[in-house]
Chain A
């Protein structure tokens, strides 16, 4: 499919109808969805109705919005009115959301066409989409490998040309890591820039919604639409949506870029080589390169795998068989809740709930959760010190290219370690972007990551654009 930008232009100018664009998207979904297991639900009827409405408005000469007629895939932890929303969990199977997430309302207002809901690791807990109750998603670039996770379905939808862009959510890397493994741009915005209203919560102090796209400009366009203050999310930043597209070609001349050993060391040689090539490109484009060591980032993994499960154990307490979703009946209410949760949650979700409950339980709270919150402070302070010296940080997104199915499922700690480079930004609430930069083993894409201080998205997009051009995508 064409890019987000080109599709919207074509529809706005009457060069293509929104319906014809949608039919192309639906045909691409039909062609490969059985094979790849990307969409859990395709809303053909709703999407056709929305596309027809756009075409009628174009015919009347109305302003149809910046994303007019662009099909979009939604990660299935985002609510859309009267559309099934499962979080890839049996506990929500069959549930239809009674309201839409703010991001979905904003996409519709901008003329985008939601076509369906994509697979994820159950409740966004995982790095491979192998934890879905509805089966794993396959990487469209190599079907023996994972697409990454937890937004693996959203990444696969874009990589397989089913939609020009998708939304995911990123709690510890769940947008950036699948973007890297599927050869896409993936953005984790500043915490609070995008409303979380209607995103089913995993870890509320870390979760953030963002776009997955094929181009930097497309990502900037999508983020402009979904960002901005929302009174329905009390953690939403007060500012309106920032201007991003206008700054995509600002370049990096005069910027100071910190190359962080702790976001590179331990990665496969081909990934390290890609980062080193990216350093050369940024230098060539006029940036000053500074080598930095930020050992606190390594500790982030330990803090994250206590904080995120602690918040999850609290957030997932609401799934008790009383108000919505699955119920497994039993003699009394406690037994009913226990039977429902035991049958409804998959193994990884149980593991995280157990870990979080333990970290918060009497006698262990200070030693684990309390300690993790202090390490979170150290991580934030380390970022602050780094940003006194430099404008941006550069590192790898993931330690390796897409891995094979089953290669990490037996060892949860091995799976968790694949998030080591993405976690620090979630702990600090600051933005980061993954950009495809070259290929490694078997021609699979490698992602490099740019990180910046809060609200520095425009600068990140400008840096990403420099790398995109150098990687042969002008």
Chain B
């Protein structure tokens, strides 16, 4: 695999919604590179035809009858929010300024 580059780390930080300082970018490029280097021992294996396992015992859909049942109280949930308005979660603006 190609060596992890600083610009890859910057791109991933953006995807993960994290701000990285210049110093952090340098540090993470080195440290994440070391972990990925260690993982490269997997590349030496012949894994052709091996079925990937995402879950230890194989997940099967679990369904229940479509009946109403108690859930968390609306007011309790809204009370946990950093900001709320009229019983809804409030957030800063999502769309850009009108032209």
Contact = CB atoms under 8 A, between A and B. Distances in A.
A337 B35 contact: no
Contacts of A341: 16-18
A237 B54 CA distance: 17
B92 A322 contact: no
Contacts of A334: 17
A181 interface: no
Interface in A292-339: 299, 301-303, 305-306, 313, 320-327, 329-339
Nearest to A428: B56
A323 B54 CA distance: 29
Interface residues of B, number: 49
Nearest to A350: B18
A235 B54 CA distance: 13
Contacts of A329: 92
A327 B15 contact: no
Contacts of A325: 82
A149 interface: no
Interface stretch (A7-15, A63-71, A371-379): A371-379
Contacts of B98: none
A326 B18 contact: no
Interface string B1-44: 10010001101110111110000000010011011101101110
A373 B93 contact: no
B57 A192 contact: yes
Among A302, A413, A429, the one with the most B-chain Cβ atoms within 10 Å of its Cβ is A302
Contacts of B9: 354, 358
A376 B81 contact: no
A367 B91 CA distance: 37
A329 B31 CA distance: 30
A386 to B, nearest CB: 16
Contacts of B12: 354, 357-358, 361
Nearest to B59: A235
A323 B89 contact: yes
15 contacts: A205-B55, A237-B57, A299-B42, A329-B92, A332-B93, A345-B18, A351-B32, A354-B16, A354-B18, A358-B8, A367-B43, A368-B39, A371-B39, A376-B53, A416-B35
